[in-house]
Amino acid sequence: KAGVTQTPRYLIKTRGQQVTLSCSPISGHRSVSWYQQTPGQGLQFLFEYFSETQRNKGNFPGRFSGRQFSNSRSEMNVSTLELGDSALYLCASSPEAFNEQFFGPGTRLTVL
Partner 1 sequence: GENVEQHPSTLSVQEGDSAVIKCTYSDSASNYFPWYKQELGKRPQLIIDIRSNVGEKKDQRIAVTLNKTAKHFSLHITETQPEDSAVYFCAATIGSARQLTFGSGTQLTVLP
Tally the C-alpha atoms within 13 A of residue 78's C-alpha that lie toward its C-beta: 28
Between CA 14 and CA 59 the distance in angstroms is 23
Assess 107 for contact with partner 1 (CB under 8 A): no
Q: Give me the 18-47 binding string for partner 1, x by CB under 8 A, dash otherwise.
A: ---------------x-x-----xxx-x--
For 88, half-sphere exposure in the C-beta direction (CA atoms, 13 angstrom radius) is 13
Among 49, 104, 107, 111, binds partner 1 (CB under 8 A): 104
- State the binding string over 71-90 for partner 1 (x if CB under 8 A, else -): -------------------x
The H-assigned helical ranges of 1-112 are none
| 52: three-class secondary structure by DSSP | coil
Residue 56 binds partner 1, judged by CB under 8 A: yes
Binding site for partner 1 (CB under 8 A): 33, 35, 41-43, 45, 48, 55-56, 90, 97-106
